[in-house]
Structure 1
Amino acid sequence: MAGPGRVIRDRYELRSQLGRGGMGTVWLAKDRMLGRLVALKEIALTPYGEGLAVQRVRAMREARSLARIRHPAIAEIYDVFEEGGSPWIVMVYVEGGSLDDLIGRRTLSEREIAALGRDVLAGLTAAHAAHVLHRDVKPANIVVGRDGKVVLVDFGIAQIVGESGLTSHSILLGTSEFMAPERIEGRAVGPAADLWSLGVTFFCALEGYSPFRRDNAYATVHAVCNDDLPQPRRRGPLYDVIAGLLRKDPAHRMGAAELDRRLAAIAATPPPERKRPERPVERPRSRSPQPPPVPHTASLRSAAAALAAMAPGAAGQALDAMAGDPSRAAGVLALLPSGQAGRWSVT
């Protein structure tokens, strides 16, 4: 049984799980030969549902699908082999997390969603040019690297156009809430089905929830085929793009060229300016009336002595000069000898 520390094919040392799903487990592994980290996908073979032979063919089809596409936004394949009865696919490792994780951590702006959406669209366009349909585009299958690199992963149910299908009519592989109506209804499927899934992915990133998810699988596929797109809490140009991608009829769905043009315009929109916090207006502090300063006693004595030596007329003029400071004048008079204090008065 695979687990951390196990060495696969005498070369790949398993480190930790990167993801796990119905189609298998993806491991972070060390390539001992080249000294690099890789993503190692172990394909889960189950004795029920599809036969083991079909599952092995499907694993090889995924490897061939990846090998046909050369694009930075598509996970590059390094090797494919079988060990312990299970197929293994060795792919490029992108350090980061899924878009699904990112949506759960914080709110994404329309500019961010449009920018990473253009990267995914470019990868899908390259896949479609190589006649490969992904068929399972969703936030969990989009890796956002720490360096900003965006990579579309998990081509486990991809279909090469022109090859016969592996799935019986009673089995519908994929994630129902992201499937296009034409897939659910068994109609012809083309690149427009992947664009529908990308539109649902955009809605999840914008609003934080899946628009057609219901309590059970039957209700979910019914909603995909019949229910209207929910109104957004954040209305903007990206919602109009989403509405164009989620038209039920693929013939009326927004195409890749128009989608890229619209996303480019949204991604180029300058971010809103942050308002600087207004500084509070400093109001002058109101000063309560202060009592007039009391003259120093020594200075009052000097003034009184000088006044006593003056003639009454000159002393009166001196007191008139003190009229602007009655407390000083009163203090001088209070210090005059009793015989002279009555000769002058302050009014």
Structure 2
Amino acid sequence: MDRVGDYVFLRELGRGEHSHVYLARTPRRLGIATDAVAVKVLSLPGTDGFDAVVDDLTLFAGLGSPHLLPLYDVGTDAGVVFYAMRYQPLGSLSAPAQELTRREQLRAVAAAARGAHELHEAGLAHRGIGPANVLLDRAGAVLAEPAVGHLLTHGHTLSGLGPRAQAGGLELVDPLLMQGRPAGRASDIWSLGVTLHLVLTGHGLFPALVSADPFTAVRIYLRSHPEPGEDLTDGERAVVVTAVHPDPARRYRTAGDLADAVEDVARRPGG
């Protein structure tokens, strides 16, 4: 694929289970002062849920928050859904362009939590928070667009979890979602807590999942409890433990509260 709509691709930036992301020339019609944008092309069957995708992404873009990735355009071409957003050359928390200090890592997660809080206040759950969706810039970080694949697949994915269950990202999904709870503040707060732990320690909260196949991993996951790493400060550990508490009522009340806690840790000596 070398283009979609009027976006001419310059190179591939990355790919997921159901998407490809490309660097593309900015169409003049967008009226923005940048030579290139990032374009995500969803490789999902059909466009039956396109209107719902547009609704979610329009709401996201309309918030105009400094903590959320600017989104410029959404459309369909040859049976696929695509959308254009600001290109973030400094990478993400999963693949930063340069090594980050611990304080920078903490502040990036706090910024993502601020973005999640603004989404929640607007009535939208993100559903896809993880290190790869916390994008870095010179001001700190922004949270990428919410997950929309579930709107197009009508549930035809593993346990309704899609690529996360198959690509080592299972623990980013709140176990309560697998038990039929709807996505919302509490599930995104869980994802933020796991993200913080992954970024600070380099490993997950559920060691037994590392070598398990996807279906076995789900069974293990639902029977296990988070195991925070030893290489966390007391403050960092307290944030993670609260964010991933099995009882959602005992997690942070809002993602904004989680952001406050992470920023407090970042201000401490050694943070």
Q: Report the TM-score when normalising by structure 2.
A: 0.82
1:136-155 correspondence runs (5 A): 136-145=128-137, 147-155=138-146
1:253 to 251, 254, 257: 251
Partner of 1:278: none
1:182 is the counterpart of 2:176: yes
What is the percent sequence identity of the aligned residues? Answer: 25
Distance 1:188 1:32 in 2: 38
Distance 2:181 2:270 in 1: 42
Whether the 8 Å contact between 1:108 and 1:205 is mirrored in structure 2 is no
Partner of 2:167: none
Whether the 8 Å contact between 1:65 and 1:155 is mirrored in structure 2 is no
Whether the 8 Å contact between 1:137 and 1:198 is mirrored in structure 2 is yes
Whether the 8 Å contact between 1:133 and 1:158 is mirrored in structure 2 is no
Partner of 1:116: 108
Distance 2:221 2:63 in 1: 30
Partner of 2:41: 42
Query: Displacement, 1:129?
Result: 0.9
1:156 is the counterpart of 2:147: yes
Between Structure 1 and Structure 2, how many residues are aligned? 255
1:225 is the counterpart of 2:226: no
1:263 is the counterpart of 2:226: no
Query: Displacement, 1:134?
Result: 0.7
Whether the 8 Å contact between 2:47 and 2:81 is mirrored in structure 1 is no
Whether the 8 Å contact between 1:17 and 1:27 is mirrored in structure 2 is yes
Partner of 1:29: 24
- The 3-state SS of whatever aligns with 1:13 is strand
Q: 1:149 to 1:115 in 2, by over 3 A?
A: closer
1:167 to 148, 151, 155: 155
Between 34-43 and 245-254, the greater mean CA deviation after superposition: 34-43
Whether the 8 Å contact between 1:62 and 1:158 is mirrored in structure 2 is no
CA deviation vs aligned residue, 1:166-212 (integer Å, no higher than 9, x gap)? 43697513422210011011123321100001111111012101223
Distance 2:16 2:66 in 1: 24
Whether the 8 Å contact between 2:38 and 2:87 is mirrored in structure 1 is yes
1:281-320 correspondence runs (5 A): none
Partner of 2:197: 203
1:130 to 122, 147, 151: 122
- The 3-state SS of whatever aligns with 2:14 is strand
1:327-342 correspondence runs (5 A): none
- The 3-state SS of whatever aligns with 2:74 is strand
Distance 1:169 1:24 in 2: 14
Q: Which runs of 5+ in 1 are unaligned?
A: 47-51, 273-347
Whether the 8 Å contact between 2:60 and 2:145 is mirrored in structure 1 is no
- The 3-state SS of whatever aligns with 1:28 is strand
Whether the 8 Å contact between 1:70 and 1:126 is mirrored in structure 2 is no
Query: Displacement, 1:119?
Result: 0.4
Distance 1:108 1:219 in 2: 36
RMSD value, Cα:
2.8
**1:181 partner letter:** P
Distance 1:132 1:85 in 2: 26
